[in-house]
């Protein structure tokens, strides 16, 4: 069912975060659009996300992470997980991907992503 996984890091300063992951750590910046950047690491994709845009303070979100699982068929994955007791709380249809969020038993946010 799952194709790969990634980690999304909520950041308060996108420019500083991109510089750290790409320049300081020497990882590959695959793309960035102001509020989201994708960093390639060996065996891992790291998403950097600033919910309000490129800059600004989000202290309640900064330092938080979510775990994403890429799927080939969103509907099938949702149905499979629903049969296992997973409750989904929102979906976002974007130009590049569809994303559906849910929580683990501790309340940590996880999501399914189906790239277009």
pLDDT, averaged across the chain = 85
- What 3-state class would DSSP assign to 20? helix
Confidence label for 29 from pLDDT (cuts 50, 70 and 90): very high
Q: What pTM was computed for the model?
A: 0.66
> Rounded mean pLDDT of 30-57?
81
- Report the C-alpha gap between 88 and 110 in whole angstroms: 10
Share of the chain above pLDDT 70, in %: 88
Q: Is the pLDDT of residue 16 over 60?
A: yes
Q: Is the pLDDT of residue 11 over 60?
A: yes
Q: Is the pLDDT of residue 25 over 60?
A: yes
Cβ-proximal residues to 91 (8 Å cutoff; 6+ apart), any chain? 98, 99, 100, 101
């Amino acid at each position: 069912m799952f194709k790969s996984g990634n980690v999304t890091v909520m950041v308060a300063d996108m420019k500083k975060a991109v510089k750290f992951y790409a320049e300081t750590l020497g990882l590959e910046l695959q793309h960035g659009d102001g509020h989201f950047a994708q960093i390639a690491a060996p065996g891992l994709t790291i998403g950097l996300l600033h919910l309000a845009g490129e800059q600004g303070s989000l202290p309640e979100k900064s330092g938080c992470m979510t775990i994403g699982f890429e799927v080939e068929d969103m509907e099938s994955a949702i149905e499979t997980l629903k049969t296992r007791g997973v409750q989904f709380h929102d979906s976002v249809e974007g130009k590049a991907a569809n994303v559906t969020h849910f929580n683990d038993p501790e309340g940590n946010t996880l999501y399914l992503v189906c790239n277009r």
